[in-house]
């Protein structure tokens, strides 16, 4: 396992990767002394820096996120939400051609191991309000504002 950290405007981000690609991008309270970067963590760190600087809108990184088939389908749909746009859990369920799976979509969204890169922060409530985020609602609000997304 390869690991590195980035100090971002929203706090410390831990980046983990395998030989195949990025496995985890998470907000953490502190850094570990066990820093062991590889080309994937270095590229991810660079692209995240560009994103936070307002220079990057679309990430181009190999991902190696582990999850169930359904979770991976949801995470793939999340990657289709463009910078500056948002959608609801219901819209995601509809795109998966499973409109009754709203809660399952929400659960899979919450298990997304690759924060920011796989933009689960772009999913909001059907009524246009801020809803849960594993990294905290303050971070989600910051990320949405950074992308120019206005909530009701």
Q: What is the C-alpha to C-alpha distance for residues 61 and 41, in angstroms, rounded to an integer?
A: 10
Give, as one character, the DSSP assignment of residue 130: -
Q: Is residue 44 annotated as part of the catalytic site, yes or no? A: no
Q: Which long-range contacts (CB under 8 A, 24 or more apart) does 37-44 make?
A: 37/2, 37/3, 37/4, 38/2, 40/2, 41/2, 41/3, 41/4, 41/15, 41/16, 41/17, 42/4, 44/4, 44/15, 44/17, 44/117
Check residue 120 and report its DSSP letter.
Answer: G
Burial of 60 (0-12, 13-18, 19+ CB in 10 A): exposed
**Catalytic member of 6, 43, 92, 120:** 120
Catalytic residues: 120
């Amino acid at each position: 396992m390869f690991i590195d950290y980035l100090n971002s405007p929203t706090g410390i981000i831990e980046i983990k990767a395998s030989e195949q690609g990025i496995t985890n991008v998470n907000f953490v309270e502190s850094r570990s002394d066990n820093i062991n970067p590889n080309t994937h963590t270095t590229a991810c760190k660079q692209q995240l820096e560009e994103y936070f600087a307002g220079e990057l809108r679309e990430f181009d990184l190999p991902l190696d996120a582990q999850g169930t088939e359904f979770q991976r389908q949801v995470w793939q749909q999340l990657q289709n939400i463009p910078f500056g746009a948002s959608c609801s859990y219901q819209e995601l369920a509809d795109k998966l051609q499973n409109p009754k799976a709203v809660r399952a979509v929400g659960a899979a969204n919450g298990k997304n191991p690759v924060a920011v890169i796989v933009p689960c922060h772009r999913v909001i409530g059907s009524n246009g309000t801020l809803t849960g985020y594993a990294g905290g609602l303050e971070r989600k609000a910051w990320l949405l504002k950074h992308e120019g997304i206005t909530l009701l």
